[in-house]
Structure 1
Amino acid sequence: MRLPLRARTLPGRVTTGGYLLHSGLEHWNGGEEQAEGLHTMASNAFPFLKSIPARRFLRLLSAAEIATGTALLAPVVPPALAGAALTGFSGGMLALYARTPAFRKPGSIWPSQAGLGVSKDVWMLGIGLDLLAGAVADRRKH
């Protein structure tokens, strides 16, 4: 059986997958204060999230991180699928960044100190898009 994994995708998949899996596991048992803080931040950017209780929101975020991290780390998951998962997850995080004015310097796309952590998700978007582009290029070769 030939695995769909390519050596060139390993650095991005392992580092990003490990980071997301760890973050998801940390969030899974996060406390009430953490749940409230993340829920408030997300609800301010996406008002439809206000109807979800804070603890449930934290569990959903955690599950998304765990699923995305696992997809990146699992060698049986094709690069296109792992890339799509990562692109979707990081796109959501960057939308949060874009919709939260306090995360950016006034009149700029560049991060404020408060937005530095979320703005770094742009690298995850790049890795996800690279996985997708590589999968398309591989299909064209065959």
Structure 2
Amino acid sequence: MHPTHVPIRVATGAFILNSGLSKLKADEAAQEKMHGWTSSVYPMFKDMKPGDFAKLLAYGEIGLGAMLLLPTVPSAVAGGALAAFGAGLTGLYLKTPGMTQDDGIRPTEQGVGLAKDVWLVGAGATLAMQSFLSGTKHAAQAVADGVTGAAGAVAGGVTGAASSVGHGISSAVGGAVHSGSGSAHKGVKGLMASAHDAREELADALADLADAMLKR
């Protein structure tokens, strides 16, 4: 139960609970009056005995009052039940002759007491709508958090992959340069050795030629 729902739930719950407890003590005359009035608007109750109907109505109000007072009952559930109960009482007000003026909406002096029951419809609808909207907001926030987390994971994966590729390219280029440098160094050493051998062979050939000319 949200803290802002406490006043309206306590006020309506206590009132309806007391009304239900009072109906359990109703005498036969009161039971017949309740049954006759209700069955004239809602024919489904005509076949019930007045005493049984009075008990049914009393237990229904006690259950609704307890539902509103118990903090473990979600406001969406309690509010929906309260709105339905208020709608039933409003139906009695609108359909009972003499309760409304000629426009069929504004109450007469006799109908003021019943016309006030429309507040129960508003109170119940408010509780149910606030709970629904709050749940929708939390669900949207959870979805947004999930999308943000997924995007972060994808971004992290792409960054890691790019870093791995960069390291791989750097290693490959470094290895190629190092290998090329080694090969070039070996080539230069080979050329220098060949030039040295050629110079020694040329010197030997000139020496042989000089000896041959002197002997002549």
Both structures adopt the same fold (TM-score exceeding 0.5): yes
- Unpaired runs of 5+ residues, structure 1, are none
Q: Is residue 133 from structure 1 mapped to residue 129 from structure 2 by the alignment?
A: yes
| Paired position in structure 2 for 1:69 | 65
In 2, the alpha carbon distance for the partners of 1:70 and 1:101 equals 32
**Further displaced range: 70-79 or 105-114:** 105-114
Higher helix share: 2
CA deviations over 1:74-98 (Å, ceiling 9, x no partner): 0000000101110111111111112
Q: Is residue 88 from structure 1 mapped to residue 84 from structure 2 by the alignment?
A: yes
Contact 1:64–1:89, Cα closer than 8 Å, also in 2? no
In 2, the alpha carbon distance for the partners of 1:35 and 1:113 equals 24
Specify which structure has the bigger relative contact order, considering alpha-carbon pairs within 8 angstroms and separated by 6 or more residues: 1
* Counterpart residue type for residue 94 of structure 2: A
In 2, the alpha carbon distance for the partners of 1:71 and 1:7 equals 16
Q: Is residue 43 from structure 1 mapped to residue 39 from structure 2 by the alignment?
A: yes
Aligned equivalent of 1:29, options 12, 25, 29: 25
Q: By how many angstroms is 1:117 displaced? A: 1.6
Name segments (4+ residues, structure 1) moved above 6 Å. none
- TM-score, structure 2 length as denominator? 0.62
CA deviations over 1:26-58 (Å, ceiling 9, x no partner): 001211111111111111111221111111111
* Counterpart residue type for residue 93 of structure 1: L
Aligned pairs (5 A) from 1:5-24: 5-24=1-20
Contact 2:86–2:120, Cα closer than 8 Å, also in 1? yes
Identity of aligned residues (%): 36
- Unpaired runs of 5+ residues, structure 2, are 139-216
Q: Is residue 117 from structure 1 mapped to residue 113 from structure 2 by the alignment?
A: yes
CA RMSD of aligned residues (A): 1.0
Contact 1:38–1:58, Cα closer than 8 Å, also in 2? yes
Q: By how many angstroms is 1:60 displaced? A: 0.8
| Paired position in structure 1 for 2:98 | 102
In 2, the alpha carbon distance for the partners of 1:88 and 1:58 equals 19
Contact 2:94–2:104, Cα closer than 8 Å, also in 1? no
Report the count of equivalent residues. 138
* Counterpart residue type for residue 82 of structure 2: L
Q: By how many angstroms is 1:101 displaced? A: 2.1
| Paired position in structure 1 for 2:156 | none
| Paired position in structure 2 for 1:79 | 75
